[in-house]
Every structure is written in C-alpha cells, then in structure tokens.
Amino acid sequence: MLTPTCARCQEPFEITEADQAYYVKRQVPLPKFCPKDRLKRRLAFRNERKLYARKCDASGKIIISNVRPDAPFPVYHTDEWQKQTHEVPQLEGFDFNKTFRQQFRELWLKTPRMHKATAGNEENSEYSNHCGNCRNCYFIFNSEEDQDCMYLKFGDKCSDCVDCHNIILSQLCYECVNVKNCYNLKFSDDCESSSDSAFLRNCRSVKNSMFCYGIDHQEYCLFNEKLSKEEYQKRIQEFRLDSYAGLETAKKRWEEFSAQWPKMRHIILNSENCSGESIYNSKNCSDCFTISNCEDCRYVLNSVDTKDSYDFFAYGMKTALMYECITIANCYDLKFCNYCMYSNSLEYCESCWSCEDCFGCVGLKKAKFCIFNKKYSEEEYKALIAKIKEHMIKTGEYGEFFPEEFSAFPYEDSLAQDYFPMGTEQKQVAMPEGILSVDQLPDLIAHAELNLSDQIFFCPVEQKPFKFQANEIKFYKKVGVALPRVSFEARYRRRNQLIPFPY
C-alpha cells in the first residue's frame, strides 16, 4: 500500500494494491489528490438547482438555464443544440509549445453548450434540471417520469409529491426521504408500501399510523402502540398538522420519540463484498454511496448499472470503465469527462454525445477520431494521442480531472458548495422593504388564500426572499399541512443531510 500526500489538502491518503492494479489497467498515473478532494473537484462541475433566465444564443429567446447569463461561452437551448445546425468550433492541431489546458480552454470558451441537462420530453416543466419525461413539475432535479410534483430530488415515477428526496412510485407524499411505493405519507423516511401516515421511519406496509419506528404490516399504530381504529382516530385529533403551531408540536414529539431509535445508516441490501451506504444489488463495491446494480467499483456515488469504475458521480445506466468522470450515461471507457452520453473511448471531453475515440473535445455529436474537435484518420489520431499524452505527463496534466476554473458554473452554484461549502458565514440581513415576515402567514392552512403566491416572504434561515407557488398552496390544502416558514432552499438543505454522503 502507498500513502502519498494529497497535493491539495496536504494530508496522507491510501492507495491500495487493488487501486494500483486498476490504474495500471486503465493506463493512468497515480492520483495526486486524495479521494475527498477528487470528489470535491468533480462536484464543482455539476449545478443541479440554481436556475437563471437567460438568452438562448441560437434563437435569441429567453430560456431557463442552469448556466448564468454572464457565462463566457455560448449557450443553446438543448433542442437547438441537438439539431447540430451550428458550426462547431475546432482547433487546428495540437501546439506542443502550450499546455493541454491552455488549448482546451480556448476551445471551451467558444463552443456552444446545452442550456441544462434534460432527457426526453419536458412538458410544462422548464424549471427543472437533470430530468427526463416529466410533466407539470416545478423545481425538481435528478428525476424522471414525474407528474405534478414540486421540489423533488431523485424522484422516479411519482405524482403529486412535494419536498421529497429519493422517492419512487409514490403519490401525495410530503417531506419524505428514501420512500418507495407510498401514498399520502408525510414527514417520513426509509419507508416502503405505506400510506395515510405521518412521522414514520424504517417502516414497511404500514397504514393509518403516526410516530412509529421499525414496524411492518401494521395499521392504526401511534408511537409504536397498536390501537383500535376508533381509539387511533380519537387520539390523533390532538396532532393538528394543518396548524403551524400544531405541526411544530408534532415535530418536537417525533424528535423526542425517534431519538431512542437509530437513524437508518449503512443500508446494504442484496449485495456482496460492499462498503459504503445505500447500496443495492451490487457486488465488490467499496466506498460507494447511493448505488444500485453496480459491480467492481470504488468511490462511485449516485449511480446505477455501473461496472469497473473509480471516482464516478452520476448517472451510470449501462456504463462501464469510468474514471474521474461526472454526469455520464450509457458510456464505455471514459476518462476525465464531464456530461457525455452514449459514447465510447473518450478522454478529457465535455458535452459530447454519441461520440467515439475523441480527446479534448467539447460539444460534439456523432463524432469519431477527433482531437480539439478536429477530425483525423484513425492512424493519425492514435499517433497524435500518444504524443499528446507524453506531453501532458511532462507538464503534469495527464491523470487529473479538469481544474475547477474549467467548470461552466461558479463554485457557489455547484454541488461542491452543498457538501464542501465555502464562504458560508451568514450575517443577519435586514428584511428588505416590501418583503413580508413569515410571522404574517396564517396558522391554519384553511386560512391560506391562493393569492399568497403574489406575496414575497423573507426566509429567516437563508436570509433571502422566497415565494409560494399557487399550486404549492393547493397541495398543502390537499394534504392538510400548514404552510412552511422557510424557503425551498432551507428545506432542501435540511433533507439533504439525511442522504448518505462519504464526507
């Protein structure tokens, strides 16, 4: 085992013999950064939920994008980009008097990029990102085939759900984390096939229950006590979730009761020789988090159907041999790549779709044997790649992912800010004139008028203004819960703390 010092944090880290064998197989040098700093660097290249109104540089229309309006490169609506009617810039050859990064930066600055990450249809869901085939959704991320949902992360085939993380095949759920096949479930986590309940944890097939932990196939339970239907309905009357004061009391009771039980951690199901958390149906995966159907992986997060990969974050989906990559799907043999789909044998590429054997390319579609977006013959490509790698090894560039300054997003917009925050000291901000205090919101949801969506309120946690959507207020009325007193961002951060993460 080797214990080099991380070039960034100056802390020692381990490189096992198995790691070394993998690096030899992939023909890459040993990493200079520790696993934590490698992940931090990659996450700086993914912006999920910071959205902006900006101009599409192809059509001139105003679009909703995760790229800021002042980005130094052109941004096209994904539909326009996919047409590939624009002329894609290229560099004429590789200049061995310059570093790879200097030349890649030149290409990076003038190549059009997609306005956000979408796949499939996006029907009335323009305020979403990293989503596919969603309908009538608002502020949902990393989700697919959802309908009439708001404020989700990792939603799959859900409808009428709000403020949830990791939710599958569910309806009418609110403030839930890690739930599957649930209906009308509120303030719950790690539950499956449960309905008409609130404040559950680690429950399966539970109905009409509140404040329960670790029960299965039960109904009419309160604080883990089995009751008759009549007694249950009588006793839950004291918990007014439709009142903000009542809801806060219920949350406090749940916090006190659930403190005696462990939170669900280290979930590894139907898996062999795995370490990490939230691992399902996988084999030989170490230091992995939130993965399923993966094999022979290390340092892989938020991925499915991924094999033989190291240092990889999202998505997977029939993917193998990923090394130091982020936001990749349906690909094989990629190194140091960002946001590439349906491609094989790429290195140092960004936003390339359906490509093969490309190096240092940006914004290509259905291309092969390209370097800096320029087409070569197979023989020319292989000969030049060997020389470029030799040059990059001399300059110390080969083997490392892009530096953060090559990200399309400022650090504060990226996922890196969520998990490795910088500049987070928050000073008390005076409430701007014309902004309402959340203390002015009605206690009972029944008293909340839909025109509240016309007002702007001040979040006491984020110290920023926020608004309710009219459909959001309708949802709270439908499920009978009081209006929240903090913004979506504050609610997101609170839920995100329940999601497994290595650091």
Q: b/e map of 442-481 (b: 16 or more CB within 10 Å)?
A: ebebeebeeebbeeebbbbebeeebebbeebbebbeebbb
pLDDT for the residue 346: 99
**Tens digit of each residue's pLDDT (9 = 90 or more) over 357-394:** 999 999 999 999 999 999 999 999 999 999 999 999 99
Average pLDDT over residues 76-80: 92
Quick one: tokens of 313?
């974050």
The verdict on residue 208 lying in a domain is: no
- Tell me the C-alpha distance between 474 and 480, whole Å: 10
Q: Where are the alpha helices (DSSP H) in 321-405?
A: 378-395
Average pLDDT over residues 117-142: 91
- Tell me the C-alpha distance between 169 and 463, whole Å: 35
Instruction: Say which amino acid occupies 26.
Output: R
In degrees rounded to 5, what are phi and psi of residue 99? Answer: -75, 160
Average pLDDT over residues 239-252: 97
Distances from the Cα of 138 to the Cα of 145, 150, 161, 398, 473, angstroms:
13, 5, 11, 41, 13
The verdict on residue 295 lying in a domain is: no
Check pLDDT > 80 for residue 423.
no
**Tens digit of each residue's pLDDT (9 = 90 or more) over 29-63:** 999 999 999 999 999 999 999 999 999 999 999 99
Q: Specify whether the CB–CB gap between 164 and 178 falls below 8 A.
A: no
Average pLDDT over residues 128-135: 93
pLDDT for the residue 377: 97
Number of domains in the chain: 1
Q: State whether residue 262 is helix, strand or coil.
A: coil
pLDDT for the residue 194: 98
pLDDT for the residue 84: 82
**Tens digit of each residue's pLDDT (9 = 90 or more) over 255-311:** 999 998 877 666 888 999 999 998 999 999 999 999 999 999 999 999 999 999 999
Average pLDDT over residues 177-193: 96
193 CB neighbour count, 10 Å cutoff: 18
The verdict on residue 258 lying in a domain is: no
- Tell me the C-alpha distance between 350 and 364, whole Å: 9
Average pLDDT over residues 203-227: 97
Closest CA to 203 of 193, 195, 215: 215
Higher pLDDT, 424 or 450: 450
State the chain's mean pLDDT as an integer: 95
pLDDT for the residue 427: 64
pLDDT for the residue 464: 93
- Tell me the C-alpha distance between 258 and 244, whole Å: 21
Higher pLDDT, 3 or 317: 3
Task: Render 34-88 in DSSP notation, one character per residue.
Answer: -HHHHHHHHHTT---S--EEEE-TTT--EEEESS-TT-SS-EE-HHHHHHT-SPP
The verdict on residue 167 lying in a domain is: no
Tell me the pLDDT band of 192, cut-offs 50, 70 and 90: very high
Check pLDDT > 90 for residue 110.
yes
Q: Quick check: pTM over 0.75?
A: yes
Check pLDDT > 90 for residue 426.
no
Instruction: Say which amino acid occupies 343.
Output: S
- Asked whether the bond before 315 is cis by omega within 30 degrees of 0, the reply is yes
Q: Which of 21-30, 110-119, 189-198, 476-485 has the lowest mean pLDDT?
A: 110-119
The verdict on residue 293 lying in a domain is: no
pLDDT for the residue 499: 85
The verdict on residue 150 lying in a domain is: no
Instruction: Say which amino acid occupies 231.
Output: E
The verdict on residue 446 lying in a domain is: yes
Check pLDDT > 90 for residue 74.
yes
The verdict on residue 388 lying in a domain is: no
* Segments of 330-467 assigned E as strands: 332-335, 338-341, 344-347, 356-359, 368-371, 374-375, 436-437, 457-459, 464-466
Range of the domain at 462: 436-495
Tell me the pLDDT band of 425, cut-offs 50, 70 and 90: low
pLDDT for the residue 424: 62
